[in-house]
Structure 1
């Protein structure tokens, strides 16, 4: 048997195994996931947590409601964004011209 045929068979078997794991594993793990979600919901309610931590990179993207205005520009106002999460979030509506203040609408 040629080496390329062995490689293709090996790749097909591993690919099939990967697809089966992706399809079966979430169903096998469902009861424990439901328990984790219930425990997390109870913890959020007990601790009265209000803000969702979307990104873990820098403090001004962790909790957008608690970021100060100048923390993103600590290096300088013209500094490039170091972290990709800063480019994935919008500024608050009150900082955008014509948004939240009734201007330009």
Structure 2
């Protein structure tokens, strides 16, 4: 057996895996069509608008809906009451420092 035969066997093995992965992806996409259709029906019937990242504080529910003063809704310098506030950083335009 020549050394190149081992390379061709490896390439054939990897090609087989690529074909199997493509077949599996096709099968899974067909199976998920019914679930996606059901989810679209639910979204339409409940009139849902945006993705909800967290249900805890109003400033972590959806980042596009947060206002500047929402983190300080209790009092200035308040401690973080919700764990999701430490996982989701503030938007970049709120984190910029301004010069006086």
Between the aligned partners of 2:62 and 2:93, the Cα distance in structure 1 is 17
TM-score by length of 2: 0.51
Shift of 1:48: 7.6
Structure 1 CA distance, aligned partners of 2:65 and 2:92? 15
| Structure number, greater radius of gyration | 2
Structure with more contact order per residue of length (Cα contacts < 8 Å, sep ≥ 6): 2
Q: Deviations over 1:22-73 (max 9, x none)?
A: xxxxxxxxxx975333211355478885521010112111121111111211
CA-CA distance at 1:81 after TM superposition: 0.3
TM-score (normalizing by structure 1): 0.49
Structure 1 unpaired stretches of 5+: 1-31, 99-105
Tell whether 2:65 aligns with 1:66.
yes
- RMSD (CA atoms): 3.0
- Equivalent in the alignment of 1:89: 88
Number of aligned residue pairs: 68
Is there any run of 5+ residues in structure 2 with no aligned partner, and where? 1-30
> Is the partner of 1:41 in helix, strand or coil?
helix
